[in-house]
């Protein structure tokens, strides 16, 4: 109950903190980053040991 009251105060600009919308966006972005990292690892493994990572150096 205390959490809901605190979140309502934040959402209504009565207190400092992340709004509900900001929390939702943060969760979505973290999920997206996790997915992209997993996909990158899968692609690295699929490319095999002979593939070189491109990081601007040659």
Question: In the chain, what are the domain boundaries?
Answer: 20-45
Local confidence band at 2 (pLDDT 50, 70, 90 cut-offs): confident
Percent of the chain with pLDDT over 70: 86
The first and second tokens of residue 34, run together, are: 């996790």
Q: Longest C-alpha distance within the chain, in Å?
A: 58
**Residue whose token pair is 């996909």:** 39
Asked if the model's pLDDT at residue 50 lies above 60, the reply is yes
Average pLDDT on 33-57 reads 84
Quote the distance between the C-alpha of residue 36 and its chain's center: 10
Average pLDDT on 41-46 reads 93
The first and second tokens of residue 7, run together, are: 């979140």
C-alpha dihedral over 8, 12, 17, 21, to 10 degrees?
Answer: 80
């Amino acid at each position: 109950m205390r959490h809901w009251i605190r979140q309502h105060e934040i959402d209504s600009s009565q207190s400092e903190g992340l709004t509900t919308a900001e929390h939702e966006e943060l969760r979505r972005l973290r999920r997206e980053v996790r997915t992209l990292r997993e996909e990158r690892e899968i692609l690295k493994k699929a490319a095999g040991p002979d593939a070189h990572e491109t990081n601007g150096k040659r």
